Amino acid sequence: MATPKNYSVIKAFAILKAIRDADGWLSGCELSRRANLPQASGYRLIQTMEGIGVIAKGRRGQYRAGMLLLSISGSVRLLDLLRDAGEPVLARVATSLDITMHLAVLESGLVTCIGNYASPAAFPSHTRVGTLLKSCSSGLVKVLLAGLNKREVETLVMNGRLIAPTPFTATSSLRLYEELEIVRKRGFATDDRELHTKTWCMAVPVQESHGRTIAAISASDETSRMTPLREAKIRQALFEAAARLQNALYRSRPSENCLSAGDGRRAAKSRAKSRTAERHDTL
């Protein structure tokens, strides 16, 4: 029998998420509204959380994150969380499809590979853990750049001086911006012999709950092995892996758009049960 959920904890974290998403101080009423809580029950939780230092109250009676929350979050490294959560997810895909999976992040203006998972039969990859990816032709780099605005992209691509590792690499800034817009619309990026002449790659974003890209995962294979059917299988596997990694990081329900039809039906049933439980929840 499953352990019952403690809805007070869920509501407390709804308040923390509301504070995280705010640009500045929030009144108690606004904080409760953003957390989708009744004002009375929201106020009681806010008072309790202020009392233990998780949130702080300003001179005007408004609230923001407190020092206790800051000290706790400061001890958590995103890279460690990504690596720990990503290893089983990406290793499973690598084994099932005989490919090489990569996990990368954009940090301090540098794209770095932080995870590499390959089956014994996979086509050898040139990218290793710790590698700095400098070429915008990489699928991982394209996905991470697509999560930025145009000004940020311009800063990171060295004022338009693009590196061309192979004859298939585009070197026009305009072409790069057009491709990034395509990546944003379809949700994935490809690299067909653009980084290495014998390598094909596809990458998708790993996003937080509000859609901000925090990492990218990719699958690499030999170009000669690619067929439309294999490409479709890899694309589906990547979307599923990204959804499961996001779920492992944020304990959120994966989007049905990123899952198979069966997973989508199960997610819908789970949401319906959750809504029923919430309607019966009282303080």
222 and 92 within one domain: yes
Residue 272 lies in a domain: no
What's the CATH number where 84 sits?
A: 3.30.450.40
For the residues of 108-160, what is the DSSP string, one character each?
TTEEEEEEEEE-TTSPP-S--TT-B---TTSHHHHHHHHTS-HHHHHHHTGGG
What domain count does the chain have? 2
List the domain range (segments joined by +) for residue 196.
Answer: 78-252
62 and 48 within one domain: yes
3-state secondary structure of 172: coil
185 and 86 within one domain: yes
248 and 114 within one domain: yes
DSSP one-letter code for 2? P
One digit per residue, the tens of pLDDT, for the chain of length 283 reads 667 778 888 888 889 888 887 778 989 999 999 999 998 889 999 999 999 888 999 888 899 888 887 777 665 677 888 988 999 999 999 999 999 999 999 887 788 888 888 888 787 777 767 666 666 778 888 899 999 888 888 777 755 455 666 656 666 677 888 888 999 999 999 887 777 778 889 999 999 877 889 999 999 999 888 899 999 999 999 999 999 999 888 765 434 333 333 444 443 444 444 444 444 443 3
25 and 124 within one domain: no
Q: Report residue 124 as tokens.
A: 């050898």
Provide the pLDDT for residue 1: 60
Provide the pLDDT for residue 268: 42
What's the CATH number where 20 sits?
A: 1.10.10.10
3-state secondary structure of 233: helix
First to last CA, the chain: 23
Provide the pLDDT for residue 54: 87
137 and 70 within one domain: no
Residue that terminates a domain, selected from 48, 74, 100 = 74
Provide the pLDDT for residue 237: 96
134 and 168 within one domain: yes
49 and 120 within one domain: no
Residue 64 lies in a domain: yes
